[in-house]
Amino acid sequence: MNKATKKELGIGVFFALLSIFYIVASRSISTFTPFGNRGLDSRSIPAMIGWLSMALSVTYIVTTLISARRQLASQQNSLESTAEVCDPDNVICIEDPSGAKRVKVLEVLPTKLLLSLIFLFFYFFFYQRAGFILSSVGYLIAQSFLLTEKDKRKRWALFLILFSIVSTLIIYFVFTKYFTLFLPKGILG
């Protein structure tokens, strides 16, 4: 197992342990049932988030192990060296510098990760000030355009904008009307 795979497994195990802690901590929440004796209570949503996080962590660990196994098998099958170094998804490839140590593309070009973190920071910064609807629509539009390939952005622009608006409004009304949770209205009101 190489260093990158061990790092990815460490991340998966960390989030699995964090999920276990979250599930255990959610059991100590005092229950309040706004819907009577049936339905959701104040403990069920944190428990669902914990179990979902646990499922995602286990999925991440399994996919990391599978990809490491495939990578090891492909390295054993092809002993000849390639002229390019590519990221694991083969999205970006660069020419292998001759005589130099191979550089991982993900360490050279983490721009999408950095931009995602910046978008997330602005989302949290404007969440109370602008409100849930405006901040969520802005965040979803920015992330959607960031994660869409450059050549497909113009074709999908209208769909990405409408999807961001509609999904934010659906989430807002479900949480405020059915779960009776208060989300910040911000400048809307």
Could you tell me if 68 and 40 are in contact, meaning their C-beta atoms sit under 8 angstroms apart? no
Residue 32 pLDDT = 66
3-class SS letters over 84-136: EEECCCCCCEEECCCCCCCCCHHHHCCHHHHHHHHHHHHHHHHHHHHCHHHHH
Which pLDDT value is given to residue 26? 83
Q: Give every residue of the chain whose pLDDT is below 50, as ranges.
A: 79-80, 99-106, 108-109
Residue type, 154: K
3-state secondary structure the chain: CCHHHHHHHHHHHHHHHHHHHHHHHHCCCCCCCCCCCCCCCCCHHHHHHHHHHHHHHHHHHHHHHHHHHHHHHHHHHCCCCCCEEECCCCCCEEECCCCCCCCCHHHHCCHHHHHHHHHHHHHHHHHHHHCHHHHHHHHHHHHHHHHCCHHHHHHHHHHHHHHHHHHHHHHHHHHHHHCCCCCCCHHHC
User: Residue 94 CA to chain centroid, in angstroms?
Assistant: 26
What's the pLDDT score for residue 83?
57
- Residue 181's pLDDT is what? 81
Strand partners, 84: 95
pLDDT for the residue numbered 102: 44
Query: What is the tens place of the pLDDT at every residue in 124-166?
Result: 888 888 988 999 999 999 999 988 888 999 999 999 999 999 9
- Say what the pLDDT of residue 101 is: 45
